[in-house]
């Protein structure tokens, strides 16, 4: 089986500051892969490199067997940025319709996908409202809906559950499982350890390096501990 995302020896530096140091990572098709690490650890930079918004200083990235960056790949990747990048003077529906037409969806498909995505994130009732009147959580949900709009094979979600209440967080995770069952590959970043449990496999990132990776159970066995939080601290070389 061919891996969906392959990262080979990727390093990235901004000026003299090394942000990513020789990252090697593979994400298999149909799994939920978590990148766990504190803010500033380089998760977002790595995600941007995978999408093709940023280029690595060294190394290369392959997604679905094509080298990144590649315009055709973008059609197959649903990207949710860390900051809500939405047009606040447009309604939720107009935001969705705008991105749907950028992905060249036909009118009838557009309608279907907008309804599907809005339903998924529980925003159907608020589609006609302007985004500037949305709450923080609603904006986050709309961003997720935007990532799903073109029915992509791969979802790359940068901190999708920040600022979302526990109830909705659970429903988003349920949706991620459902999408996984449909055969989609999902890469999420988070700094919340309890979300790490929900991933099939995960990599722990600190200071631009992957300190350990594997399935949650593997990691816990490896270190002989029961909580991932402790794994993170141990792997990072910190004393408990």
- Summarize as ranges the residues that interact with other proteins (CB under 8 A): 51-53, 55, 69-72, 74-75, 77, 79, 81, 83-90, 94, 98-99, 101-104, 146
Least separation, in Å, of the C-beta of 76 and other proteins? 9
Least separation, in Å, of the C-beta of 178 and other proteins? 23
Handedness of CA 184, 35, 23, 50 (dihedral sign): positive
The greatest distance separating any two alpha carbons of the chain, rounded to the nearest whole angstrom, comes to: 58
Least separation, in Å, of the C-beta of 133 and other proteins? 13
Among 113, 138, 112, which Cα is nearest to 125's? 138
Least separation, in Å, of the C-beta of 189 and other proteins? 15
C-beta of 51 vs 114, nearer to other proteins: 51
Least separation, in Å, of the C-beta of 151 and other proteins? 14
Q: What is the DSSP string of 28-87?
A: -TT-EEEEE--TTSSHHHHHHHHHTSS--SEEEEEETTEESS-HHHHTTEEEE-SS----
Report how far apart, in Å, the C-alpha atoms of 101 and of each of 3, 12, 45, 80, 145 are: 30, 33, 27, 17, 14
Residue with tokens 């350990």: 212
C-beta of 31 vs 54, nearer to other proteins: 54
Least separation, in Å, of the C-beta of 44 and other proteins? 11
User: Is the bond into 69 cis (omega within 30 degrees of 0)?
Assistant: yes
Least separation, in Å, of the C-beta of 239 and other proteins? 39
C-beta of 146 vs 203, nearer to other proteins: 146
C-beta of 85 vs 194, nearer to other proteins: 85
C-beta of 141 vs 201, nearer to other proteins: 141
C-beta of 74 vs 186, nearer to other proteins: 74
For residues 51 and 75, is the Cβ–Cβ distance under 8 A? no
Report how far apart, in Å, the C-alpha atoms of 233 and of each of 38, 95, 104, 143, 228 are: 11, 41, 46, 32, 9
For residues 181 and 192, is the Cβ–Cβ distance under 8 A? no
C-beta of 49 vs 235, nearer to other proteins: 49
Among 186, 197, 180, 184, which Cα is nearest to 160's? 186
């Amino acid at each position: 089986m061919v891996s969906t995302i392959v990262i080979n020896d990727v390093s990235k530096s901004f000026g003299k500051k090394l942000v990513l140091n020789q990252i090697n990572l593979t994400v298999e098709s149909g799994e939920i892969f978590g990148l766990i690490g504190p803010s500033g650890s380089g998760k977002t930079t790595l995600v941007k490199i995978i999408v093709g918004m940023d280029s690595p200083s060294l190394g290369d990235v392959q997604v679905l067997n094509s080298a990144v960056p590649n315009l055709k790949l973008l059609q197959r990747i649903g990207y949710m940025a860390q900051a809500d990048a939405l047009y606040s003077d447009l309604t939720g529906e107009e935001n969705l319709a705008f991105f749907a037409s950028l992905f060249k969806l036909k009118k009838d498909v557009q309608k279907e996908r907008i309804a599907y995505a809005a339903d998924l994130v529980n925003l159907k009732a608020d589609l006609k409202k302007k985004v500037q009147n949305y709450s923080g959580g609603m904006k986050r949900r709309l961003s997720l809906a935007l990532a799903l709009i073109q029915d992509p094979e791969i979802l790359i979600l940068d901190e999708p559950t920040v600022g979302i209440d526990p109830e909705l967080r659970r429903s988003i995770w349920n949706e991620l499982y459902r999408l996984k069952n449909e055969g989609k590959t999902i890469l999420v970043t988070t700094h919340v350890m309890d979300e790490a449990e929900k991933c099939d496999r995960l990599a722990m990132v600190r200071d631009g390096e992957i300190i350990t990776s594997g399935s949650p159970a593997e990691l816990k066995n490896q270190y002989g501990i029961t909580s991932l939080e402790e794994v993170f601290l141990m792997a990072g070389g910190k004393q408990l």
